[in-house]
C-alpha cells in the first residue's frame, strides 16, 4: 500500500510538472519563421547591412537592394521578416540563442577573411607580442592629392590574443606638403581614430591638421573590455588644384596597461583628448561617413 501511494504521488507530481511545462511553452504562429530560418536570414542580413555601409552616400539607395537580395535568397518578404522579428522581440530568450549562433558564424567568417588577407598581403596572422609594439601593417608613407580616388587613407585592424584589456593605442603620422604654400583653412586634412570594444562601446577621436608636422591620436579605456577592432582614416578634402600632401612616419603603437591605475602619459582620459576639444566647432558628420563599423 505504501509503495502504491508513493507511486501515485510520483505520477501526480509528474503530471503536474508536465502541465506546468506545457503551460510555459509559448505558442508560435505559423507566420513566424523557425529558429533555423531566422539564424540563416539574420546571418546574411547583417552581412548585407555591413556591405551597404561601405557604399558612398550618393549611392545609398543600393543599401536597400542588398537587404532585398537577402529576402529573395531565402524566399520571404520584408513583411514576413518584420512579423517574425516582432514575435522574437517578445521572446528574448529565443532571439538571444539565435544571435549567439549568428555571432559565432560571423566571427568564424571574419577570421577566415583575415587569414586570407594575411596570406594575400604576406602579413602575419597575429600582431607582435609585447608591452609596447608597433602594430601598423599598412605602407609607411602615402601621397594624397585631394582629388577623387586619391584623397583618403583608411585602415581597419581586427584584434587578436595579443591585445589585452585597457590597452592604449597611439596613431602617429607626419604631415607635410610637396611644395610650400599658404594653408587654406577651408581644406585642411582630417585624421581620425576609432576603437570598438567588447562591450559594443566605440570611442572615437579626430583632429584637423591645420599645420604641417607630426600629429598623434590616442585612445584607451579601463572599463569597456578588450579591443575588438581598430579603424582610422586621413581625409584630404577636394582641392581646387592638385596640391600633394605627404604623410609619412606612420605608426600605430599598442601599449599594455601595467597596473590598475594606468593611464597614458599624454592623456588621462582619451574621451577628453585635446583634438576633440580643438574641433568641437566643426561638424562630426565626416567621421560618421568615413568610419562605419562592420
Whole-angstrom Cα Rg for the chain: 26
Is the pLDDT at 8 greater than 90, yes or no? no
DSSP label of 185: G
Is the pLDDT at 288 greater than 50, yes or no? no
In tens, the pLDDT along 20-60 reads 434 445 688 888 999 999 999 999 998 888 888 777 767 77
In tens, the pLDDT along 176-219 reads 987 655 556 667 899 999 999 987 789 999 999 988 999 999 99
- Whole-prediction pTM value? 0.52
**Mean pLDDT computed over 104-116:** 76
Residues 71/85, Cβ–Cβ less than 8 Å: no
Q: Looking at per-residue confidence, does 27 or 93 come out higher? A: 93
* Sign of CA pseudo-dihedral 269, 271, 274, 275: positive
In tens, the pLDDT along 127-144 reads 778 888 999 988 889 999
DSSP label of 55: S
User: What rounded mean pLDDT belongs to the chain?
Assistant: 77
**Mean pLDDT computed over 83-107:** 89
pLDDT category of residue 103 using cuts at 50, 70 and 90: confident
* Sign of CA pseudo-dihedral 262, 167, 233, 145: positive
Residue 71 CA to residue 74 CA, distance in Å, equals 5
Boundaries of every domain in the chain: 26-120, 132-290
CB-based burial label for 169 (10 Å; 0-12, 13-18, 19+): buried
E strand or H helix at 49: helix 35-53
pLDDT over 70, % of the chain: 70
Long-range contacts, stretch 259-266, CB < 8 angstroms, 24+ apart:
262/166, 263/220, 264/168, 264/170, 264/218, 264/220, 266/170, 266/216, 266/218
Determine whether domain 132-290 maps to CATH 2.60.120. Answer: yes
Residue 36 CA to residue 97 CA, distance in Å, equals 11
Amino acid at each position: 500500500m505504501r509503495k502504491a501511494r508513493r507511486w501515485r504521488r510520483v505520477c501526480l507530481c509528474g503530471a503536474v510538472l508536465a502541465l506546468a511545462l506545457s503551460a510555459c511553452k509559448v505558442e508560435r504562429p505559423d507566420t513566424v519563421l523557425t529558429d533555423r530560418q531566422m539564424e540563416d536570414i539574420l546571418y546574411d542580413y547583417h552581412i548585407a547591412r555591413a556591405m551597404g555601409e561601405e557604399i558612398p552616400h550618393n549611392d545609398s539607395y543600393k543599401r536597400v537592394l542588398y537587404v532585398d537580395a537577402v529576402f529573395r535568397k531565402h524566399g520571404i518578404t520584408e513583411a514576413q521578416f518584420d512579423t517574425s522579428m516582432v514575435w522574437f522581440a517578445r521572446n528574448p530568450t529565443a532571439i538571444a540563442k539565435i544571435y549567439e549562433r549568428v555571432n559565432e558564424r560571423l566571427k568564424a567568417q571574419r577570421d577566415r577573411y583575415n587569414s586570407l588577407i594575411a596570406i594575400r598581403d604576406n602579413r602575419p596572422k597575429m600582431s607582435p607580442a609585447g608591452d609596447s609594439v608597433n602594430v601598423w601593417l599598412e605602407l609607411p608613407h602615402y601621397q594624397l592629392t585631394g582629388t577623387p580616388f586619391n584623397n583618403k587613407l583608411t585602415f581597419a585592424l581586427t584584434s587578436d590574443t595579443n591585445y589585452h584589456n585597457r590597452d592604449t593605442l597611439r596613431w602617429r603620422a607626419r604631415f607635410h606638403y610637396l611644395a610650400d604654400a599658404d594653408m587654406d583653412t577651408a581644406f585642411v586634412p582630417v585624421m581620425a581614430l576609432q576603437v570598438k570594444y567588447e562591450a559594443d562601446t566605440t570611442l572615437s577621436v579626430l583632429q584637423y591638421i591645420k599645420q604641417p608636422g607630426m600629429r598623434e591620436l590616442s585612445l584607451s579605456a579601463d572599463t569597456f573590455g578588450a579591443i575588438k577592432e581598430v579603424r582610422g582614416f586621413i581625409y584630404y578634402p577636394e582641392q581646387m588644384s592638385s596640391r600633394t600632401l605627404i604623410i609619412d612616419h606612420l605608426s600605430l603603437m599598442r601599449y599594455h596597461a601595467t597596473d590598475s591605475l594606468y593611464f597614458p602619459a599624454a592623456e588621462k582620459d582619451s574621451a577628453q583628448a585635446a583634438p576633440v576639444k580643438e574641433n568641437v566647432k566643426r561638424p562630426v558628420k565626416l567621421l560618421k561617413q568615413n568610419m562605419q563599423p562592420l
